[in-house]
Amino acid sequence: MDLIQLGKNISAFRRAQHLTQEDVAFELNITNVSYSRIERGITDVSFNRLLQIAQILKVPVSALVQDDTSADFSKLSADIAQIKADVAEIKTVVVV
């Protein structure tokens, strides 16, 4: 897997979680610029950093390192999970 594809995958999962680059950078205790370089595939990512990113984005590391086709499927799965969470929240508001 090349760094550009890794960055695209990370970006897709971050957006699926409705997080900004600033949100993730803050959680990683790095600058926004440093995090942006990860998503753009400019900076190599250590395995420990990849583990941290996966934890923040609530996905397995394997989802982040998948090829293009698998990433599309994973994003769809993340979108479905978000929709389910939104529906559950709406049900809670309606019941209360």
What would the 3-class secondary structure string for 30-44 be? CCHHHHHHHHCCCCC
pLDDT in tens, the chain (96 residues): 689 999 999 999 999 899 999 999 999 999 999 999 999 999 999 999 999 999 999 999 998 998 764 556 666 777 888 888 888 888 777 666
Cα-based distances in Å from 2 to 10, 13, 38, 55, 80: 13, 17, 12, 21, 27
CATH of the domain at 76: 1.10.260.40
Give residue 34's domain range.
3-95
Tokens (6 digits) for 26: 């803050």
**What integer pLDDT is reported at residue 49 of this predicted model?**
96
> Beta-strand (E) ranges in the chain?
none
Q: Give me the number of domains the chain comprises.
A: 1
